[in-house]
Amino acid sequence: MTKHKKLQSWIRECAELCKPDKIVWCDGSEEEKARLEKEAFKSGELIQLNKKKLPGCVYHHTSVNDVARTEHLTYICAKNKRDAGPTNNWLAPHEGYRRASEIFKNSMRGRTMYVIPFSMGPVGSPFSKIGVELTDSIYVVLNMRIMARMGKVVLDLLEKTRGDFTKCLHSKADLDVNRRLILHFPEDNAIWSVGSGYGGNVLLGKKCLSLRIGSYLGEKEGWLAEHMLIMGVEDPSGRVDYIAAAFPSACGKTNLAMLLPPEGLKRKGYRIWTVGDDIAWMRIDTDGKLWAVNPEYGLFGVAPGTNSKTNPNLIKAIEKNTIYTNVLLKKDKTVWWEGGDGVVPKDGTNWQGNPWRPGELDENREPILGAHPNSRFTVPILNVPSVTNRIDHHHGVPIAAIIFGGRRAHLAPLVYESFNWQHGVFVGATMASERTAAQVGKQGEVRRDPMAMLPFCGYNMGDYFKHWLALGKKMTPPPKIFNVNWFRKDNGDFLWPGFGENLRVLEWIISRCKNEVEGVKTPIGYLPHENDIDMTGLRSPREHMRKLLAINHKDWREEAESIGEFFNSFGKDLPKEMKHELNALEKRLR
Ligand code: GTP
Ligand code: SPV
Ligand code: MN
């Protein structure tokens, strides 16, 4: 057990509710990993992959009804409904506890309750947060080992400092969607997740703590918890500019964070350093600048579309010590997914656990997929060849530019720069993107997703915008804010090649930060001159760039109208600056 009284009594309470057969404390050792894997191989929870081709790798299927985050079952349980805001589902705390308790009750009978002490951020850093997750899933323990610093070192620290921690309770229960709840109690520093075994719902350090609880704490303590990648762009002189970028789920964060400079730009000698691929914690340091750390220690990345052309660094990273979830399992115990490397396998076991052959159709005459569109791999960030050597440094990296971006077939140009911080906050607050497979719901539908935080902001989003505005006033100067769209289409095809080629756009962004290049002033912000994006080596028709940078005033006026409707949902909680920016945009478009 533990000397930490609060931890001790909380675990006792949870055990009384869930009634596990036994309680096991996770120390994070290799011996422990081997023991848990062995047990999971025996029960079938995990399958060991080909030891020669994929050393240290394992395979897991989640339930067929449990393959993405369930936003409609995710709640912020603040005392006042107003504090959850118009974009979150809300339950009163007592009602949340009551409903979830019914499902948690006796849910661990016949199972083991694992205790996982973990640290989001380097262990012992003043900017890190400690959590303890209780779970009845070995899959969760093995994932948390990769995604966060965990085990004995964290428990020792917690006992020594007698510090506070986020109470994270998870049980698979019966994996029934009708008995699934993902609840956050910001005022109690607690998370209760029940009835799911899928990543974002159950790896509680990730979206639940680092973003929903994190954003709530950030507002109280004066910092930002954001759904952002962090990357460094090093030029041949050795200067590294760091960028933080917020794109909604499955819109390209992991890929951008570890891009390989494309052939045509190689002569310029850039190197990319990966700091984080999903979450950034940012605060103002004594120099008045914004500094960011990645609180995670691993990646939980999207498999489909990942191949040696689109993302060679990631392909290298996932060759070893990786957990594969819901991809196609091949006969030779290797894996495959749509848009992956190599020829399409002749057969295998698909994400649903069924025998699979390419070309088979379902009852709607749609092709049956080998891998689920939201199939993923969990991999240590230290496996990524481009990982920064600042990963364990608690100060993190100074941010020169913030980028927002979404998946929009129309409207949004390849890149534009906001006029100033306040306008940049408006650009982030009014982001929209097509829904992807990372969340349950209608795919492709365009929805507003402010700062890519719609599903992750743990408090009233009106207050969140105010917090962004207030922090901007404290920085000297604040980073410049940009918007990008890699996904603009013409006749159904992407106009922009994306992936490594995105460096061409980052190059323009960095030049703007250094005041090295002029922008073209438009009603929505500064755009590049057509020739200011280096297209060397890219055989893309000139008219594509024109289409990528086109601003259709009529469409933008409609966009402004739709932004107005979105803003109305905030009522008096919307900061007046946002309304002011909308009016100014409308005026510029007239
Ligand atoms: P989460 O982990 O859900 O937060 O996603 P993410 O934002 O990290 O997205 P990720 O980089 O995993 O990319 C998601 C999907 O978009 C993958 O199928 C990628 O292949 C694809 N993708 C990424 N970058 C680009 C790009 O620049 N252009 C195009 N066309 N597709 C891209
Ligand atoms: C996302 O959906 O934004 C992810 C995957 O990064 S999950 O951890 O499931 O949230
Ligand atoms: Mn994400």
DSSP secondary structure letters along 94-117: HHHHHHHHHHHTTTTTTSEEEEEE
What is the C-alpha to C-alpha distance for residues 138 and 132, in angstroms, rounded to an integer? 15
**Average pLDDT of 270-295?**
98
Q: Where in the chain is the domain with CATH 3.40.449.10?
A: 5-43+72-221
Pocket test for ligand 1, best of 231, 251, 299, 375 (most atoms within 8 A of CB): 251
Checking if the pLDDT of 435 tops 90, the result is no
Q: Where in the chain is the domain with CATH 2.170.8.10?
A: 298-385
Find the Cα–Cα–Cα–Cα dihedral 44, 45, 48, 49, rounded to 10°: 110
- Is 199 flagged in the annotation as binding? yes
Instruction: Give the residues across from 349 on adjacent strands.
Output: 329, 355
First-to-final CA distance of the chain: 68
What is the C-alpha to C-alpha distance for residues 295 and 506, in angstroms, rounded to an integer? 24
Would you say the C-alpha torsion 199, 200, 201, 203 has a positive or negative sign? positive
pLDDT of residue 442: 74
Q: Does the N-terminal peptide bond of residue 345 adopt cis geometry, omega within 30 degrees of 0? A: no
Q: Residue 75, Cα to own-chain centre: how many angstroms?
A: 18
Of the candidates 450, 480, 446, the one whose C-alpha atom is nearest the C-alpha of residue 465 is 450
Domain 226-296+391-589 has CATH 3.30.1330.200: no
Q: Are 253 and 498 in contact (CB under 8 A)?
A: no
Residues 549-560: tens digit of each pLDDT: 999 999 999 999
| Residue 399: its H or E element | strand 397-405
Considering every ligand atom shown, identify the ligand nearest to the alpha carbon of residue 202 and give its number: 2
Pocket test for ligand 1, best of 255, 306, 453, 495 (most atoms within 8 A of CB): 255
Residues 119-154: tens digit of each pLDDT: 999 999 999 999 999 999 999 999 999 999 999 999
Angle at 457 between CA 414 and CA 380, to 5 degrees: 75
CA of 158 to the centre of ligand 3 (A): 28
What is the C-alpha to C-alpha distance for residues 76 and 93, in angstroms, rounded to an integer? 9
- Is 69 flagged in the annotation as binding? yes
CA–CA distances in Å: residue 170 to residues 4, 18, 63, 459? 21, 10, 16, 22
Percent of the chain with pLDDT over 70: 100
Of the candidates 396, 137, 421, the one whose C-alpha atom is nearest the C-alpha of residue 287 is 396
Task: Please state the length of the chain.
Answer: 590
Q: 438: Cβ below 6 Å to ligand 2?
A: yes
pLDDT of residue 445: 83
Q: Are 202 and 378 in contact (CB under 8 A)?
A: no
Residues 337-375: tens digit of each pLDDT: 999 999 999 999 999 999 999 999 999 999 999 999 999
Q: Are 131 and 118 in contact (CB under 8 A)?
A: yes
The residue written with tokens 């107003």 in the block is 82
Longest dimension (CA), the chain: 68
Q: Are 428 and 418 in contact (CB under 8 A)?
A: no
CATH architecture of 5-43+72-221: 3-Layer(aba) Sandwich (3.40)
Q: 248: Cβ below 6 Å to ligand 2?
A: no
What is the C-alpha to C-alpha distance for residues 171 and 335, in angstroms, rounded to an integer? 28
Checking if the pLDDT of 541 tops 90, the result is no
What is the C-alpha to C-alpha distance for residues 134 and 213, in angstroms, rounded to an integer? 17
pLDDT of residue 542: 84
Cβ atoms < 10 Å from Cβ of 491: 5
Checking if the pLDDT of 439 tops 90, the result is no
Residues 28-53: tens digit of each pLDDT: 999 999 999 999 999 999 999 999 99
Q: 207: Cβ below 6 Å to ligand 2?
A: yes
Cβ atoms < 10 Å from Cβ of 272: 21
Q: Are 362 and 97 in contact (CB under 8 A)?
A: no
CB neighbour burial string for 231-250, b if at least 16 within 10 angstroms, e if fewer: bbbbeeeeebbbbbbbbbbb
Residues 366-415: tens digit of each pLDDT: 999 999 999 999 999 999 999 999 999 999 999 999 999 999 999 999 99
Checking if the pLDDT of 513 tops 80, the result is yes
What is the C-alpha to C-alpha distance for residues 433 and 408, in angstroms, rounded to an integer? 6
Domain 298-385 has CATH 1.20.120.530: no
What is the C-alpha to C-alpha distance for residues 210 and 231, in angstroms, rounded to an integer? 18
What is the C-alpha to C-alpha distance for residues 70 and 437, in angstroms, rounded to an integer? 11
pLDDT of residue 540: 84
Name the band, by pLDDT with cuts 50, 70 and 90, for residue 284. very high
Q: Where in the chain is the domain with CATH 3.90.228.20?
A: 226-296+391-589
**Which tokens go with 49?**
């992959």
**Average pLDDT of 245-269?**
96
Q: Phi then psi for 312, rounded to 5 degrees?
A: -60, -35
Checking if the pLDDT of 443 tops 80, the result is no
What is the C-alpha to C-alpha distance for residues 157 and 123, in angstroms, rounded to an integer? 8
CB neighbour burial string for 154-190, b if at least 16 within 10 angstroms, e if fewer: bbebbeeeeeebbbbbbbbbebeeebbbbbbbbebbb
What is the C-alpha to C-alpha distance for residues 348 and 334, in angstroms, rounded to an integer? 10
Q: 206: Cβ below 6 Å to ligand 2?
A: yes
Checking if the pLDDT of 111 tops 90, the result is yes
CB-defined site of ligand 1, < 6 Å:
247, 249-255, 277-278, 301-302, 304-305, 310, 438, 486-487, 494, 498-499, 502
- Name the pairing type of β-strands 74-76 and 181-185: parallel
Checking if the pLDDT of 436 tops 90, the result is no
Which residue, judged by its Cα, is nearest atom 13 of ligand 1? 252
61: three-class secondary structure by DSSP: coil
Query: Which 8-state DSSP code applies to residue 369?
Result: P
What is the C-alpha to C-alpha distance for residues 356 and 360, in angstroms, rounded to an integer? 8
What is the C-alpha to C-alpha distance for residues 164 and 283, in angstroms, rounded to an integer? 21
- Is 278 flagged in the annotation as binding? yes
CA of 234 to the centre of ligand 3 (A): 25
Considering every ligand atom shown, identify the ligand nearest to the alpha carbon of residue 277 and give its number: 1
Q: What angle, 0 to 180 degrees and rounded to 10, lies between the N-to-C axes of helices 461-474 and 421-429?
A: 160
518: three-class secondary structure by DSSP: coil
Report the chain's mean pLDDT, rounded to a whole number: 97
- Is 498 flagged in the annotation as binding? no
Checking if the pLDDT of 539 tops 90, the result is no
**Average pLDDT of 300-325?**
97
CA of 249 to the centre of ligand 2 (A): 6
- Is 251 flagged in the annotation as binding? yes
